[in-house]
Amino acid sequence: MPPSKKKPPKPTTTTTSRSTPPPPPNWPPLTPLLPTSSLSLQTVLPSQILTIPHLFTPTLCKTYVSFLSTLPLVTTPANPKKGDAVRVNDRFQIEDKVFAERLWEGTGLRGLVLGEGEGEDGEGEEEGGEEKRRELWGGDVLGLNPNIRIYRYTPGQHFAPHYDDSNTLSFPPPTTTTTSPPRTSTALTHHLIPALTTWTLLLYLTSCVGGETVFYPSSQDEPTGKKSKKKKGKEGSSSVGVGGRSEPIVCEMEVGMALLHRHGRECLLHEGREVREGVKWVIRSDVCVRR
Ligand SMILES: O=C(O)CCC(=O)C(=O)O
Ligand SMILES: [Fe+2]
C-alpha cells in the first residue's frame, strides 16, 4: 500500500493545558509565627511606607525559601515591553485566593491593617480610627490580592525605578472554614466583590548585601532620568518633601519583615537595588479595597 499523504491530526494538548490554570503550590504551613501581640505596624513615611518586622519568623522564612526554590521560577527579560520597568529577577506567579487568605488571616496582618488588637504604633489607632483607616488604605479593606508573586534576585539582579499601578479585580468571597460545599453553585460567582489594589505588600524572606527597596519621595531624586508621564497625586506634598527635595528612603531588607507602600496614583518612585551578595527572596501581593 502506498504511504498515505494525509497529515496526522494536530495534537490538541497545548490548547487544553493553556486553558487550565496550574494547580496552586502546596505552600508549607505558616508556622512557627510570633504571637500577634508581638507584632506592630511601624511607620517609615506617614501614609506611604509602613513595615511589620517579624511577620514571618526566621524559621518560617527558611522553610519558605527551601520550598520556593522548588517552584518553576522564570527569569524576566532584561528588555521589557515599552513602558515597563526593567526588572531582572526570577519570578513565579499564581492566582491563589486560599493562600492570600492564609497570609492575611493567619499571620496577624489583617488585625494590624484593620487596627484590631494591640501593638500598633499610631497610624491605625488615633481618634476617628475608622475614617483614618479608610483614608490610609484607600477604602474599605477586603484582604490580599490572590495574585501572588514570588521574586528571587541573585547577585547582579535588580528591579529598576518604577511606579506600581493600581489594578481592579473581582475579589473572591472568604473561603468557608467548614468542609461542607456551598449550598448553590452560584454562591461563589454571585459574591465576587468589585475591588481595587491600593498598597503593595513585599514580604522579605532573606536579607543580603544590596537589594534594598529604595523610595524617591520627590521627582528631582529620580536616579535614572526616567520621568513619569503620570500625574503625581499628593506624593510631592509628603512630609519629607520640603522645598520639593528629599533624601531617598532606603529600606534595608530584614528577614521576615513585611513592607507596605501606597501605590497607584500616589505611588512613590521606587526600585529594588541590585543584589551584590546572597539571594533576595520576596513574596509580593497587594492590599485590596472595595471599589
Ligand atoms: O523587590 C523589591 O525590592 C521591589 C519590588 C517592586 O518594586 C515590585 O514588586 O513592584
Ligand atoms: Fe514596585
Per-residue pLDDT of the chain (291 residues; tens, 9 = 90+): 444 444 444 444 344 445 688 889 999 999 999 999 999 999 999 999 999 999 999 999 999 999 999 999 999 876 667 766 677 899 999 999 999 999 999 999 999 999 986 444 544 455 678 899 999 999 999 999 999 999 999 999 999 999 999 999 999 887 765 444 444 444 455 689 999 999 999 999 999 999 999 999 975 444 443 434 443 333 322 333 334 558 999 999 999 999 999 999 999 999 999 999 999 999 999 999 999
In a domain, 20, yes or no: no
148 neighbors 94 (Cβ within 8 angstroms):
yes
Q: Cell 472554614 maps to which residue?
A: 177
Q: Where are the alpha helices (DSSP H) in the chain?
A: 13-19, 58-68, 97-106, 109-113, 129-137, 187-190
The model carries a pTM of: 0.81
Residues spanned by the domain of 144: 34-74+87-178+185-290
Ligand 1, residue 213: give the atom nearest the CA: 3
DSSP-assigned states of every residue in 194-217: EEEEEEEEEEE----EE--EEEES
Give the residue carrying C-alpha cell 521560577.
73
Pocket of ligand 1 (CB under 6 A): 151, 159, 164, 200, 202, 213, 270, 272, 282, 284
What's residue 86's pLDDT?
Answer: 75
In a domain, 145, yes or no: yes
117 three-state secondary structure? coil
Confirm if 112 and 119 have CB atoms less than 8 A apart: yes
User: Which atom from ligand 1 is nearest to the alpha carbon of 284?
Assistant: 9
According to the model, what pLDDT value does residue 91 have?
96
Say if 125 falls within a structural domain. Answer: yes
Helix residue ranges, H only, 118-204: 129-137, 187-190
Query: Is there a contact between 83 and 97 (Cβ–Cβ < 8 Å)?
Result: no
Q: How far is the CA of 206 from the centre of ligand 1 (A)?
A: 14
Asked if 284 and 149 count as a contact pair (C-beta separation under 8 A), the reply is yes
Q: What is the CATH number of the domain that holds 127?
A: 2.60.120.620
Q: How far apart are the CA of 83 and the centre of ligand 1, in A?
A: 16
Could you tell me the three cell numbers for 42? 511601624
Q: What ipTM is given for this predicted complex?
A: 0.99
44, part of any domain: yes
- Whose alpha carbon is nearest atom 4 of ligand 1? 272
Question: Which bound ligand lies closest to the C-alpha atom of 285?
Answer: 1
Q: Is residue 209 part of a domain?
A: yes
- Residue with cell string 489607632: 125
Domain assignment present for residue 8? The answer is no
pLDDT of residue 185: 44
From 51, 76, 87, the mutation candidate for ligand 1 (largest count of ligand atoms within 8 A of CB) is 87
Protein residue with least CA distance to atom 1, ligand 1:
272
45 found inside a domain: yes
107 inside domain:
yes
Substitution candidate for ligand 1 out of 200, 275, 276 with most atoms within 8 A of CB = 200
Domain count, the chain: 1
